[in-house]
Amino acid sequence: MFAQNLKTLRKTKGYSQEELAIRLYVIRQTVSKWEKGLSVIEQIACL
Q: What number does CATH give the domain 2-46?
A: 1.10.260.40
What pLDDT sits at residue 33?
A: 96
pLDDT at 40: 82
The predicted structure's pLDDT at residue 45: 56
**CA separation for the pair 42, 12 (Å, rounded):** 24
Which 3-state string (H, E, C) describes 24-47? Answer: HCCCHHHHHHHHHCCCCCCHHHHC
Give the pLDDT confidence score for residue 41 in this predicted structure: 79
The pTM of this model reads: 0.82
The pLDDT of residue 43: 59
Domain ranges of the chain: 2-46
Q: pLDDT tens for residues 1-47?
A: 889 999 999 999 999 999 999 999 999 999 999 999 999 877 555 55
